[in-house]
Amino acid sequence: MPNYQEAIQWIHSREKFKVKPGLKRMEWMMEELGHPEKKLNAIHIAGTNGKGSTVTFLSNLLQTQGYDVGTFTSPYIIRFNERISVNGEAIPDGELADLVEQIKPLAEKLQATSLGEPTEFEIITAMAMLYFSQKKLDFVLFETGLGGRFDSTNILLPLLSVITNIGLDHINILGNTREQIAYEKAGIIKTNTPLITGVKEKSVLRVLKEQASVSKAPMSILGEDFQVEYKKSSLEGESFEFINSSFYSGDLLSPMKGRHQVDNAALALQTMEQLKQMGVDINRTKYSKGLLRTYWPARFETICTNPVTIIDGAHNEEGTQALADTMKRHFSGKRVHLIYSALEDKPVKNMLEVLKEVVDVAYMTTFEFPRAMTGSELTELSPIADTITVPDYVQAIRQAMSMMNREDVLLITGSLYFISEIRKYFEY
pLDDT in tens, the chain (428 residues): 569 999 999 999 998 876 567 899 999 999 999 999 999 999 999 998 889 899 999 999 999 999 999 999 988 888 899 999 999 999 999 999 999 999 999 999 999 999 999 999 999 999 999 999 999 999 999 999 877 888 999 999 999 999 998 875 544 555 567 787 888 889 999 999 999 999 998 988 999 999 999 999 999 999 999 999 999 988 899 999 999 999 999 999 999 988 889 999 999 999 999 999 999 999 999 999 999 999 878 889 999 888 999 999 887 888 899 899 999 988 999 999 999 999 998 889 999 999 999 999 999 999 998 889 999 999 999 999 999 999 999 999 999 999 999 999 999 999 888 998 998 888 76
**Residue count of the chain:** 428
Helices 202-214 and 178-185: angle between axes, nearest 10 degrees: 30
- Please state whether the predicted TM-score (pTM) of the whole model is above 0.85: yes
Minimal CA–CA distance to 173: which of 10, 48, 36, 43? Answer: 48
DSSP string for 3-71: -HHHHHHHHHTS-S--SS--SHHHHHHHHHTT-GGGG--EEEEE-SSSHHHHHHHHHHHHHHTT--EEE
71, β-bridge pairs: 85, 141
Alpha-carbon span 233 to 239, nearest angstrom: 6
Distance (Å) of CA 410 to CA 25, 152, 351, 403, 415: 45, 38, 17, 11, 16
Question: How many CB atoms lie under 10 A from the CB of residue 281?
Answer: 9
Chain centroid offset of residue 185 CA: 14
Helix and strand element counts for the chain (H, E) = 15, 18
Q: Is residue 409 classed as helix, strand or coil in its secondary structure?
A: strand
Rounded distance between C-alpha atoms, residue 141 and residue 88, angstroms = 12
C-alpha distances out from residue 317 to 262, 366, 415, Å: 19, 19, 12
Q: Do 156 and 44 contact (CB within 8 A), yes or no?
A: yes
**Contact by Cβ (8 Å): 55, 163:** no
